[in-house]
Amino acid sequence: MEHLKQLIEHLAWADERTLGALDTLPTTDPKIVGTYAHVLGAEHIWLTRLQGKAATVGVWPMLSLAECRRLAAENAAGLRAFVASLDPAAASGGVTYTNTAGITFTSTAHDILLHVCLHGQYHRGQVAAAVRAGGGNPLPTDFIAYTRGGASATRSDRTILRTPEARFARLPDYPFEPHYVSIDGIRLHYVDEGPRTGEVVLLLHGEPTWSYLYRKMIPILAEAGFRVIAPDLVGFGKSDKLSRREDYTYAFHVDLLKQFVTALDLKGVTLFGQDWGGLLGLRVAAELSNRFARIVAANTGLPNGQGKINPAFFQWREYSQSVPVFSAGKIVHKGTVNGIDPAVAAAYDAPYPDETYLAGARAFPMLVPTEPDDPAIPANLKAWDVLRAWTKPFLTAFSDQDPIMAGGERIFQKLVPGAAGQAHHTITGAAHFLQEDRGEELARLITGFIRANPA
């Protein structure tokens, strides 16, 4: 039974990966989507046969991408529940059903489940080939890639921790309603403020902060008429945490953020990325370029394994691994010009009741690619290929007192075509966490940038 559960988890993972690949197509091709809708329709039909219910979807249904996503989630939940409740003896029991040609058969539940798991592989290969031919980015869905823990959020053996909600009571200046989305059993928290019809501004935080970092910017952007979305990365803020450091990889976070963007069906997005928010966000924007309209890079980069790394970064990395008590509040305090109040520092520490919750925060500094043979470098180089051809508006907003990222804006200004002619801005009187030092100024800068560059 454990093997069947693993196969069902792989199936759910592969479905999500294929949907993510379809989202990378420059334009939606109904024929390619139709091929994949067949996979989901077949899963639905076999699941209803196992459940003794009537199917509500045909073998070759005409579905939109959004409808495919909903059906994939329903199939995954139904198959997981069925296998979890299946007695080993019942797995060899007969299930009688009538196929689409009107012929009655009896098969074991075990054989039906194996068929469901194997049937989609052929068609997913067809979709991957079509995505590549259509200019998209096909994502590997091999079983061995899943078992190796590749770029996937779906790993049932991961231990998930959830910070008690009481830790977030009475946070200063953070009145925002929580929103959650579940991606393969991992819950992501995000702030969603402003009119739903407004242009989307996606604010991505870095290490070791969370969406609390954007509390000064969110109200200004929302009042300007934008839909402001600020997620917490897995391992941070109100999002779930994974207990093992080895479960955090660069590819894992890119994959999760891509699924987040597609799950919310975000389009015409203006990205603001700082620190890891840029390392991740620039990858996501490059791999889902049809969903992004503009980019603002602030105190961030996209390492390609070729440039020189600031020695200050290695000092920070050594500190992050050796400090006995890892305090996010203390780190943010030191990374600002004038420091932060104790209550604000406590808000940054709130996600971490004890060291077991800090696996992600401890892991992140070690994930920055600093050598040419780092496993993240090939994907980063592909992202740079996209950025070197990026003609959509690209703005830099680096601070004047960041010891690690100083001068990093020149790389983007030189290499990204969309940066030409933009009103690049240096945020004065700000250190690494410029959202704390000059958040209001940043919000006004983003507002002006969007209005000066209408989609």
Point out the residues that are catalytic.
275, 402, 432
For residue 385, what are its two tokens? 């290929």
CA distances from 406 to 166, 223, 414, 427, 444 (A): 38, 31, 15, 12, 22
- SS3 of residue 98 by DSSP: strand
3-state DSSP of 209-227: CCHHHHCCCHHHHHHCCCE
Dihedral of CA 120/6/57/261: which sign?
negative
CB contact burial 137-173 (16+ within 10 A = b; e otherwise): bbbebeeebbeeebbbbbbeebeebebeeebbeebee
Tell me the backbone φ, ψ of residue 26, rounded to 5 degrees. Answer: -55, -35
For residue 50, what are its two tokens? 């196992």
Which of 28, 25, 43, 205 has the alpha carbon at shortest distance from 116? Answer: 43
Tell me the backbone φ, ψ of residue 180, rounded to 5 degrees. Answer: -135, 145
Q: Quick one: angle between helices 250-263 and 2-22, nearest 10?
A: 70
Which of 175, 179, 167, 165 has the alpha carbon at shortest distance from 216? Answer: 175
Q: What is the distance of C-alpha 335 from the center of its chain?
A: 26
List the Cα angle 389/394/397 in 5-degree steps.
Answer: 140
Structure letter (DSSP) for residue 151: S
Dihedral of CA 185/33/54/104: which sign?
negative
- Cα separation, 142 vs 14, in Å, equals 8
Whether 238 and 163 have beta carbons less than 8 Å apart is answered as yes
- Cα separation, 411 vs 347, in Å, equals 34
Is 265 exposed, middle or buried, given 0-12, 13-18 or 19+ CB atoms closer than 10 A? exposed
- Cα separation, 380 vs 365, in Å, equals 17
- Cα separation, 152 vs 250, in Å, equals 11
Amino acid sitting at position 78:
G
Cα-trace Rg, the chain: 23
